[in-house]
Amino acid sequence: MDKSEIDQKSKIKPIAMYDEISSSYLSYAMSVIVSRALPDIRDGLKPVHRRIIYAMYKGGFDWSKQFRKSARIVGDVIGKYHPHGDQAVYDALVRMVQDFSMSVPLIDGQGNFGSVDGDPPAAMRYTETRLSKISQFLIDDIEKNTVDFKSNYDETEKEPVVLPAQYPNLLVNGAGGIAVGMATSIPPHNLGEVINATQALINNKDIKINELMKHIPGPDFPTGGTIIGKDIIKSGYKTGRGSFKIRGDVKIEQLKNGKERLVITNIPYQINKSVLNEKIVELIRDKKIEGISDIRDESNREGIRVAIDLKRNTEPETVKRQLYKYTSLESSFSFNTLAIVDKKPKNCNLKDFLESFLKFREDVVTKKTKFDLKKAEDRAHILIGLSVAVENIDKIIKIIRNSKNPEIAKETLVKTKWKIKSTQKFIKLIEKKILSQHILFQLIK
């Protein structure tokens, strides 16, 4: 055995398997929690969704431009920012298109992106996408040093740590995710109500959650439905935890032959309509629900409509109660408002969501104003120089002509003292503009 092998062996230290497994699993758990499964409270996005939006922004797939193949976008995302399979990225992109999954879809789609019946989307080579108009309010001002950037997985590109969101996207679109040892389940809300609550918090920093609930009375699911249990919603907003029931809306129609019909016009969030219909048929066949003569799914582009024809002398309210009892027409939704706050998972109440967003937004606006101010100052400097040059044009031309080379001309021009009598008024106007921007910055700060 030579000396190098002996030195190498002397550097090897024994490690207990328990300690190594514990350390490795903890690293894996934190990676899943922070970098995959839980959304950031600032822009309301998980890393994959953030990377999709940023890749589309960099690729020029704007809401005002033409649609582009989804496969092109997925390729950009996995090639530059997201080191995972293409199907995982496409699944995330599809969900951002579905109006039955998101309160405000972040991507516009053209083609088959699945349905509330659980139908799968078409392959990525067939569908086309572009950013939706509201996504502009998530990505605007990103080029103005408003957010931090980090290296991508192979250090060949830069990607944003967070997007400079202009509205509380996490409350608006909600989120769901299962990490290691923890999970999140945040319901979507109405955009207008969330904006109103944010303005109320700006006007009164000491506002209570009960007062915020006057603006946000409860979640607003894209598939509709009626929430049962207002007190449970209050508890969820205050503690970040809770569970409430959602019922699909069922109306009663009178038929010409004297019979009645139940019509399901919307269903609970994330419930598969096709599976619901099959369950109803199964209950009729097993005679757990009686009095139904026919069931038809008449849903179309205008919305959900499941018609349930009743037999003569059947009490519709009884059948309705049985549907709520035995099927997913009434289902539970669990509040578990876990989000990444300051790089750590935290359970948040309603006010925490809005306060964290406003703190972030204030930081973004401050950085944007500094950027715009610096740009205005640089521009003013150039304009003043041009004004001086115009006023002394004959002298400048003479210096340039008498110089042996451009370097000597430049040096002479810099050392020369220029008359700026008629330029003083222009300079004062520039200074006044910059001063007003300074004042604006101080007000925002």
Q: What is the pLDDT of residue 403?
A: 84
Write phi, then psi, for 310 (nearest 5 degrees).
-105, 150
Of 57, 126, 167, 237, the active-site residue reads 126
Mean pLDDT by 10 residues, the chain (445 residues): 59 78 75 80 94 95 94 95 92 95 95 93 96 94 94 92 95 89 90 95 93 93 88 87 91 88 93 94 92 91 91 91 94 90 90 95 93 84 75 80 84 75 58 57 50
Contact between residue 55 and residue 80 where contact means Cβ atoms under 8 Å apart: yes
Name, in order, each residue with C-beta under 8 angstroms of 135's C-beta and a sequence gap of 6 or more. Answer: 53, 56, 63, 106, 107
Tokens 């202009």, located at residue: 166
Parallel, antiparallel, or unpaired for β 175-178 and 158-160?
unpaired
Contact between residue 138 and residue 165 where contact means Cβ atoms under 8 Å apart: yes
Residue 167 in tokens: 């509205």
Q: What is the pLDDT of residue 411?
A: 84
DSSP state letter for 216: -
CATH node for 249-328: 3.30.1360.40
Distance CA 20, CA 276 (A): 48
Catalytic annotation present for 126: yes
Domain boundaries, the chain: 23-186+338-360, 249-328, 364-444
Q: What is the pLDDT of residue 445?
A: 47
For the whole model, what pTM was predicted?
Answer: 0.85
Q: What is the pLDDT of residue 427?
A: 60
| Same fold for the pair 23-186+338-360 and 249-328 | no
Q: What is the pLDDT of residue 416?
A: 78
Residue 313 in tokens: 């002398």
Q: Considering only the top CATH level, what class is 23-186+338-360?
A: alpha beta
Q: What angle do CA 194, 196, 199 make, to 5 degrees?
A: 110
